[in-house]
Structure 1
Amino acid sequence: MDTNVSGVEVEAIEYSQESATVCIQFNQERTPASMAVIATLADVMDTDPVELDPLHSAVDPDELDALVRVRNETNEDSHVTFTHDGHVITVHSYGVITITPEHELAAENYERGAGR
């Protein structure tokens, strides 16, 4: 089932209330990864995509798009993780994006004892 997130078509959306993580699957042949990231982050933050900081302040959008467009013969996952507008974003080469608020990850690490 395809749906729209801030005007970008996505194939699936999952939300984990416990970690406040949003995970989407998008069609990498139709949508550049950079566009999917901005659309999803804008939806998560309940704002217009143009109100976000430019993506290039965190990652090179062309390189991000290339990571997802180019898959190797073994179908192994390549991914990149970066922070942008207070969220940790991971983009996988197979067209999945996860977005988690930074404060949720910090709290989770602290609870595990990493912050003590």
Structure 2
Amino acid sequence: MDDSTERESSIDDRPSIRVVNAIAEHEGTTPTEIRPVLYDIIDPDALDSLFSETQLGNSRSDGHVSFEYDGHKVTVYSDGRVEIERLRESSTESPESVSSVESFSSASEPTSGDN
């Protein structure tokens, strides 16, 4: 693999990029057209750092983070999965109580470096 392909691959493996791509696919649009933009909802650098290698160079093998995005619950897992669930209130539920009506999962596998 040449240097440019390797750099593109490492950029695409970032959780923030996988989230943007999953949202775009879920919405049937391109990553540059999703609204609101991700950084209006969550800090992409902070999201990426949650799943970055430790100071010793070890991968973070377990964990996930969830946040609400435009009426959806987005869950990002350390194994590279991104799940998107549509949140909808029913007339008998309080605004804080939501039920999953639609689910979308993007299972793009991150590539691992030479370990």
TM-score normalised to structure 1 length: 0.57
SS at match of 1:69: coil
> Which structure has greater strand proportion?
1
Gaps of 5+ in 1: 1-26, 110-116
**8 A contact 2:75–2:82 mirrored in 1:** yes
Kindly report structure 1 stretches of 4+ aligned residues shifted beyond 6 Å. Answer: none
AA paired with 2:25? D
Gaps of 5+ in 2: 1-8, 90-96, 102-115
Aligned match of 1:13: none
Aligned match of 2:70: 85
Task: Give a deviation string over 1:50-98, Cα, whole Å, max 9, x none.
Answer: 2221111111100111112236969652221001122110111221211
Higher relative contact order (CA 8 A, sep 6+): 1
User: Do structure 1's residue 59 and structure 2's residue 42 form an aligned pair?
Assistant: yes
Mapped to 2, the partners of 1:32 and 1:74 lie a distance apart of 13
Greater gyration radius: 2
Provide closer, same or farther for how the CA distance between residues 63 and 103 of structure 1 changes in structure 2, counting only shifts above 3 A: same
**8 A contact 1:32–1:65 mirrored in 2:** yes
Question: Greater CA deviation, 35-44 or 73-82?
Answer: 73-82
TM-score normalised to structure 2 length: 0.57
Same amino acid, percent of matched pairs: 31
Q: In the comparison of the two structures, how many residue pairs are matched?
A: 83
